[in-house]
Amino acid sequence: MKLIFLSLILFSFPLFANAEEKSKEMCECLNKSKSSNSAKDKKRCLTLREKHVKALKKGSDAYSQYLEKLGQCEREMVGNGEIKDNLSFEEKVKEVCDCFSLAPKGQKMACFQKQSQYGKTFAEDQKRIEFNQITNSCDK
């Protein structure tokens, strides 16, 4: 029994390390693509993403970790950074509405992501629904 448990730990650790390495590699690719604005670099990132999805096996724990790290990278790239859980309801609304009002046209995806992340911080369904209704009106 101990041998099986030890084997699972040893075999799963490289997968998680692998997921972190792959997310760093992808983040570097996205940063390079963003700064160069080259179609060739963007295509390279798409190809890399397909390779990572195949290697990590979509739906696995390693793949979930990869997506989480990649999401953090993307938030940092667009200036959203970390989501602040300690903000009041009104402050979270203000953050999302400010994002929508300041985002250049066609680049509001980061604001929708911020809205989603802040929405997940509410334990009460009614608060989450209210938050989404108020912040949806900001994107007009």
- As a whole number, mean pLDDT of residues 55-63 equals 87
Residues 59, 8 share a domain: yes
| pLDDT, mean of residues 81-106 | 83
User: Is residue 60 one of the residues assigned to a domain?
Assistant: yes
> Buried (b) or exposed (e) across 72-88, using 16+ Cβ within 10 A?
bbbbeebebeebeeeee
Same domain, 7 and 73: yes
Same domain, 46 and 23: yes
Same structural domain, 7 and 72: yes
DSSP line for 50-68 = HHHHHHHTTTSHHHHHHHH
Read off the pLDDT band of 9 (50, 70, 90). Answer: very low
- Are 71 and 129 part of one and the same domain? no
Per-residue tokens: 134: 């108020």
Lowest mean pLDDT, pick from 10-19, 58-67, 102-111: 10-19
Q: For the chain, what is the domain count?
A: 2
Q: Identify the weakest region by mean pLDDT among 41-45, 55-59, 103-107, 111-115.
A: 103-107
Does 110 lie in the same domain as 68? no
Q: What is the residue range of 67's domain?
A: 2-77
In degrees, rounded to 5, the angle at the alpha carbon of residue 36 between the alpha carbons of residues 43 and 83 is: 85
For the chain, how big is the Rg over CA atoms in Å? 19
The answer to whether residue 83 sits within a structural domain is no
Per-residue pLDDT, averaged over 115-123, amounts to: 86
Dihedral over Cα of 118, 124, 126, 127: its sign: negative
Do 55 and 7 fall within a single domain? yes
Highest mean pLDDT (candidates 28-37, 39-48, 68-77): 39-48
What pLDDT was estimated at residue 88?
93
- pLDDT surpasses 80 at 12: no
Residue 8 C-beta-side C-alpha neighbours within 13 Å = 5
pLDDT band at 129 (very low <50, low <70, confident <90, very high): very high
